[in-house]
C-alpha cells in the first residue's frame, strides 16, 4: 500500500520538514510505503508525479498554506495541519489507510481525464496566467471608467481626482496586466524561477507595443527557457545556492529579454508601420469595407499593436473636433468585445468557470466604457474561439456604424459620451450597431465554446 503526502507551512523553514519526517518515521513503523512532497521556502521538493498518484491509495495533506488539491482528484484526501502530522503522524497514516479506494469505473474515468490534461498542459499554464491577470483588468478598467465619469477628458487636468484614477487604473493596474499574465504563465511552467523572466518579458512586450499576444509569447518562452536552463546547467553542490538567486534569473531574463527585443520587437514595429500606411491608403475606398477591416483590427488583439493602429488611425481623422465616421466605427468595435463576452457568460453559463462568470460582469462595465481590454482574460484563456468571435462581432458593428453614417466627435468614452449633445451623430442607429455586434459575438462564443 502506498500513501502520498504533502507538507507545507507558512514560513516554510522548519515545520514543513518536521511534518514530512514525522510522516516518514511513522510510515516506516507501520510498514507503509510513503512519498512526501515538501513545499517549503526552497520550493517544492520530492514532487509527486502523476505516476505516483496512479499507484497511490490515498493522500495526506498536512498543510497550513493553500495547495493545489485538484491534481489529486480521484484520490481520497486526508486533510490536516502540519501540527497534526508532527503530533500524531501515525494516526494520520492510519486514517489514510482506512480510506476507501475509488471504484474501478471511476479509475477509468480518471485515466481519461488525465490524458486530456496532458494534451492541454499549455492550456493549464495559460489559465494560471489569466486567473492572476483578471483582477488587474477588472480593478484597472473600472478605475479608468470611473475617471471617464468626470468627463471624457477630465483626466488630462493634472491634480484632479479623475487624473489620479486614470493614473491608478491605466498607469498602475493596466500596465501590470501583461507582465502578470506573462509572469504567471512562466510561473506555472517553471515554478518560482519562471516569474522573473516572465514578468520582464511581459513588460518588454508592453514597451515594444506587442500587446497581450506578445505577453503570452514572452510567458511561454520564459517558462520553457527556465525549465531548459534547469536541465542543462549542472553546478557543483557548493554552488547550487546560486541557481535560484543568481544564475536562473539572470540567464533566463537575458535570453527572454534579448529574444523579445530582437526577434519580436523588429517585426512588431514593421507591422505597425505597414498597417498605418495601409489604412491611410484604404481611407479612399468603400466605407463599409474600411469599417469591416477596422472592426477586425480593433478586436484582434484588444489594446495590442493591431488595435492601436486602427485606433490611432481613427483618432487622426478627428481633425479639430470634426465628427468622424471612422472614429465612430472604431469606438463601437472596441466596445463590443467585452460586451459580447459578458453576454456569452450569461447565455452559456455552464461553459465558463465561476471566476470567468464574475469577470463577465466586470467585462460588461468595461465594454460600455470602451475599454476593450475587458475581453482579454477570456481571449487569453481560449484564443482560438474567442478572438474570431469578437472579431466578427466588431466587424459587423463597425460596418453597420459606417453604413448608418454614424459619427463621433470625441476619441473615447463609451456610452458616457452618448448623452453629450453633438458628440454622436445618428445616436439611435449607433446604439443599434453596438447591440447587434454584441449579440453576434455573444452567440458566436456560446456556440463555439465546448461544454466544460
Partner 1 sequence: MDIKMMFSKERVSFDLKARTKEEAIDELIEMLYKDGKLKDKESFKRAVLKREEEFSTGIGMGIAIPHGKDSSVVEPCITFGVSKNGIDFDSMDGKPAHIFFLISVPEDAADTHLHILSFISRKLMHEDVRQKLFNAKDFEDVINAFN
Q: For partner 1, which is the closer residue by CB, 43 or 267?
A: 43
Rounded Cα–Cα distance for residues 405 and 327 (Å): 11
Rounded Cα–Cα distance for residues 439 and 393 (Å): 8
Q: By rule CB under 8 A, what count of residues binds partner 1? A: 28
Residue among 41, 115, 283, 353 that touches partner 1 (CB under 8 A) = 41
User: Nearest distance from residue 322's CB to partner 1, in Å?
Assistant: 57
CA distances (Å), origin 111, targets 4, 73, 99, 116: 18, 11, 20, 9
121 binds partner 1, rule: CB under 8 A: no
87 binds partner 1, rule: CB under 8 A: yes
40 binds partner 1, rule: CB under 8 A: yes
Residue among 5, 6, 16, 218 that touches partner 1 (CB under 8 A) = 16
| Beta-sheet pairing, 77-80 with 407-408 | unpaired
User: Nearest distance from residue 420's CB to partner 1, in Å?
Assistant: 52
Secondary structure class of 203 (helix, strand, coil): helix
Residue among 245, 261, 274, 347 that touches partner 1 (CB under 8 A) = 245
Rounded Cα–Cα distance for residues 428 and 375 (Å): 25
Give residues with Cβ within 8 angstroms of 338, minimum separation 6. Answer: 363, 364, 366, 367, 371, 372, 373, 374, 375
User: Nearest distance from residue 235's CB to partner 1, in Å?
Assistant: 11
List Cβ<8 Å contacts ≥24 apart for 194-198.
194/222, 194/223, 194/226, 194/227, 194/252, 196/249, 196/252, 196/253, 197/221, 197/222, 197/225, 197/226, 197/249, 197/252, 197/253, 197/255, 197/256, 197/257, 198/222, 198/223, 198/256
Residue among 2, 14, 263, 274 that touches partner 1 (CB under 8 A) = 14
83 binds partner 1, rule: CB under 8 A: yes
Residue among 63, 86, 190, 247 that touches partner 1 (CB under 8 A) = 86
Q: For partner 1, which is the closer residue by CB, 81 or 175?
A: 81
Rounded Cα–Cα distance for residues 217 and 158 (Å): 36
Cell of 209: 507595443
> Is the CB of residue 173 less than 8 Å from the CB of residue 136?
yes
30 binds partner 1, rule: CB under 8 A: no
Residue among 243, 409, 418, 429 that touches partner 1 (CB under 8 A) = 243
Q: For partner 1, which is the closer residue by CB, 11 or 50?
A: 11
| Beta-sheet pairing, 424-425 with 58-63 | unpaired
> Is the CB of residue 174 less than 8 Å from the CB of residue 135?
no
Closest CA to 92 of 160, 177, 4, 15: 4
Residue among 4, 6, 17, 148 that touches partner 1 (CB under 8 A) = 17
42 binds partner 1, rule: CB under 8 A: yes
Q: Residue 9 catalytic?
A: yes
196 binds partner 1, rule: CB under 8 A: no
Among 3, 5, 6, 9, the active-site one is: 9
Q: Tell me the window of 15-23, 159-167, 258-266, 406-414 that interacts with partner 1 (CB under 8 A).
A: 15-23
User: Nearest distance from residue 238's CB to partner 1, in Å?
Assistant: 8
Given the C-alpha cell 457568460, which residue does it identify? 345
Given the C-alpha cell 481623422, which residue does it identify? 317
191 binds partner 1, rule: CB under 8 A: no
242 binds partner 1, rule: CB under 8 A: yes
Q: For partner 1, which is the closer residue by CB, 249 or 426?
A: 249
Phi-psi region of 108 (alpha: psi -120 to 50; beta: other; left: phi over 0): alpha
User: Nearest distance from residue 94's CB to partner 1, in Å?
Assistant: 18
Q: Tell me the window of 14-22, 121-129, 180-188, 379-387 that interacts with partner 1 (CB under 8 A).
A: 14-22
44 binds partner 1, rule: CB under 8 A: no
Per-residue mark of binding to partner 1, 202-241 (x: CB under 8 A): ------------------------------------x-xx
Q: For partner 1, which is the closer residue by CB, 18 or 432?
A: 18
Rounded Cα–Cα distance for residues 374 and 342 (Å): 9
**Catalytic residue list:** 9
Binding residues for partner 1, rule: CB under 8 A, are: 10-11, 13-18, 20-22, 25, 38, 40-42, 64, 81, 83, 86-87, 238, 240-245
Amino acid at each position: 500500500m502506498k500513501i502520498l503526502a504533502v507538507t507545507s507551512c507558512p514560513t516554510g523553514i522548519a515545520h514543513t520538514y518536521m511534518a514530512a519526517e514525522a510522516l516518514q518515521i511513522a510510515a516506516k513503523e507501520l510498514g507503509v510505503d510513503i512519498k512526501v512532497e515538501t513545499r517549503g521556502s526552497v520550493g517544492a521538493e520530492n514532487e509527486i508525479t502523476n505516476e505516483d498518484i496512479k499507484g497511490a491509495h490515498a493522500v495526506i495533506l498536512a498543510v497550513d498554506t493553500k495547495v493545489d488539491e485538484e491534481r489529486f482528484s480521484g484520490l481520497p484526501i486526508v486533510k490536516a495541519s502540519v501540527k497534526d502530522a508532527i503530533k500524531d503522524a501515525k494516526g494520520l497514516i492510519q486514517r489514510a489507510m482506512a480510506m476507501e479506494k475509488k471504484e474501478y469505473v471511476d479509475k477509468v474515468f480518471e485515466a481519461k481525464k488525465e490524458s486530456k490534461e496532458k494534451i492541454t498542459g499549455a492550456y493549464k499554464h495559460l489559465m494560471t496566467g489569466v486567473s492572476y491577470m483578471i483582477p488587474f483588468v477588472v480593478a484597472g478598467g473600472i478605475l479608468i471608467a470611473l475617471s471617464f465619469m468626470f468627463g471624457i477628458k477630465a483626466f488630462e487636468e493634472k491634480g484632479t481626482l479623475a487624473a489620479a484614477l486614470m493614473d491608478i487604473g491605466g498607469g498602475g493596474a493596466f500596465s501590470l496586466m501583461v507582465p502578470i499574465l506573462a509572469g504567471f504563465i512562466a510561473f506555472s511552467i517553471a515554478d518560482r524561477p519562471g516569474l522573473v523572466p516572465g514578468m520582464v518579458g511581459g513588460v518588454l512586450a508592453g514597451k515594444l507595443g506587442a500587446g497581450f499576444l506578445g505577453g503570452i509569447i514572452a510567458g511561454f518562452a520564459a517558462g520553457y527557457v527556465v525549465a531548459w536552463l534547469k536541465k542543462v546547467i549542472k553546478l557543483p553542490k557548493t554552488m547550487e545556492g546560486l541557481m535560484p538567486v543568481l544564475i536562473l534569473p539572470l540567464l533566463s531574463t537575458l535570453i527572454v529579454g534579448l529574444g523579445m527585443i530582437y526577434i519580436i520587437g523588429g517585426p512588431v514595429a514593421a507591422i505597425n508601420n505597414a498597417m498605418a500606411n495601409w489604412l491611410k491608403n484604404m481611407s479612399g475606398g468603400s466605407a463599409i469595407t474600411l469599417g469591416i477591416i477596422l472592426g477586425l483590427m480593433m478586436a484582434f488583439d484588444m489594446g495590442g499593436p493591431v488595435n492601436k493602429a486602427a485606433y490611432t488611425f481613427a483618432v487622426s481623422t478627428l481633425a479639430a473636433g470634426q465628427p468622424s465616421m471612422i472614429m465612430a466605427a472604431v469606438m463601437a468595435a472596441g466596445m463590443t468585445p467585452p460586451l459580447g463576452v459578458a453576454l456569452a457568460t450569461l447565455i452559456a453559463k455552464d461553459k465558463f468557470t465561476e471566476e470567468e462568470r464574475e469577470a463577465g460582469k466586470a467585462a460588461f462595465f468595461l465594454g460600455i466604457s470602451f475599454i476593450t481590454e475587458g475581453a482579454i482574460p477570456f481571449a487569453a484563456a481560449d484564443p482560438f474561439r474567442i478572438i474570431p468571435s469578437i472579431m466578427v462581432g466588431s466587424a459587423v458593428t463597425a460596418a453597420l456604424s459606417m453604413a448608418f453614417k454614424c459619427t463621433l466627435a470625441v476619441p473615447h468614452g463609451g456610452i458616457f459620451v452618448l448623452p453629450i449633445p453633438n458628440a454622436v451623430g445618428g445616436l439611435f442607429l449607433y446604439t443599434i450597431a453596438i447591440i447587434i455586434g454584441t449579440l453576434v459575438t455573444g452567440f458566436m462564443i456560446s456556440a463555439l465554446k465546448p461544454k466544460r
